[in-house]
Amino acid sequence: MPQINLLYDEHCQNCPYYNQAHLINTSYQTTRTLAPVGLEDNSSDTLLVFQSPGVEEWRVGKPLQITPRSAGKRIDLSWGRVRKHRQSQNPIRTDFNIINAVQCFQGKVSSGRDAKPKAMAVRCCSNRLLTILQQTNYTKVIAFGDIAQQILPRLQSRLNPINHPHPTSTKSRNVTLNALW
């Protein structure tokens, strides 16, 4: 069973999403006492970094949920094509650890799309992400989307992340997605 860190920490206190205050009186308000959506640790040396949790990730409390027409679905299909799995059948070796650059759900905009994470949330979560990166020696880091691609090189220059557009972007092609793994 993967270990998932779901606790606010010292990096969260100045975040605009701390204690879910931005979700009060919305349909996205939860009674969660455990937040943010932290690292899904499958004991892998490969880390996938996505932008931020969507509403389903927030509801479940785990990054990258597989739902129809989602980034998670697109990633899952690619893993199937190249015979990779979120968790390996071998308990000693698993394929991926997964985290979001911003680890709390930021809400939605009037068009129904996820809101862009606020700059202060990106800064707070960057510190949180740096702590996580310093605890593990990843041999491969894959950054999906603009925010992950912008903050990872600033955190640790030795990472040299592989950048890929957001999986639902028109710039994301199956052949390039499959080649990442």
Q: Give which of 152, 141, 145, 137 is closest to 166, Cα–Cα.
A: 145
Query: Which residue type occupies 71?
Result: A
Residue 4 has pLDDT above 50, yes or no: no
Question: What is the tens place of the pLDDT at every residue in 42-96?
Answer: 888 899 999 999 888 888 888 999 999 888 999 999 999 998 888 756 665 678 9
Residue 142 has pLDDT above 90, yes or no: yes
Domains of the chain, residue spans: 3-180
pLDDT for res 32: 59
DSSP for 15-46 reads -TTGGGGGGTTSTT----SS-S---EE-S-SE
Residue 119 has pLDDT above 90, yes or no: yes
Residue 33 has pLDDT above 70, yes or no: no
Kindly state which CATH superfamily the domain 3-180 is placed in.
Uracil-DNA glycosylase-like domain (3.40.470.10)
Which residues, other chains included, contact 130 with Cβ-Cβ below 8 Å and sequence gap of 6+? 155, 156
Q: Give which of 126, 112, 85, 106 is closest to 22, Cα–Cα.
A: 106
pLDDT for res 2: 44
In whole angstroms, what is the distance from residue 29 CA to residue 105 CA? Answer: 10
